[in-house]
Amino acid sequence: MLECPRCHHPVEGQAIACPQCQLVLKAHGHPGIPLYRSTDGQYLCQTCLYDHDETCTFPQRPYATECTLYTNPQSMAVQTPYRPSQVRLIRAWLSQHLAWIVLAGIAAISLGIAIANQ
């Protein structure tokens, strides 16, 4: 089973996004990624963020009318990054460190019993 790079939660190999933190996991060409199409006959590259910063790797650039990489710069300002709640962060930390917490609890109980028997 794979592991999410953000939250380290186990993820199935066919998952499009992490079920825990919703991080998108699939890359270009996966059937789950949306395909953007030009509706007015204009090329998508004219309004794409990747074309403006010269990082586009799409083979049809700059004449693409369909693209899975298309990102509108105006939509980027509206989106807010995902921030998990404090409860979710605590639960994730506890689930990742459960073995150490149990071991520390057993050690504390053993130490308490040893001190009480003296």
Pairing of strands 2-3, 10-11: antiparallel
Rounded (10°) CA dihedral 64, 32, 72, 8: -130
Structure confidence at residue 78 (pLDDT): 54
Contacts of 18 (CB under 8 A, 6+ apart): 4, 6, 7, 9, 11, 25
* Each residue's pLDDT tens digit, 27-42: 545 556 666 777 777 8
Give the model's confidence band at 110: pLDDT under 50 very low, under 70 low, under 90 confident, else very high.
Answer: very high
Helix, strand, coil: what percent of the chain each, to 5?
35, 10, 55
Longest dimension (CA), the chain: 86
* Each residue's pLDDT tens digit, 41-88: 788 888 888 877 778 877 788 888 877 777 877 766 555 677 888 999
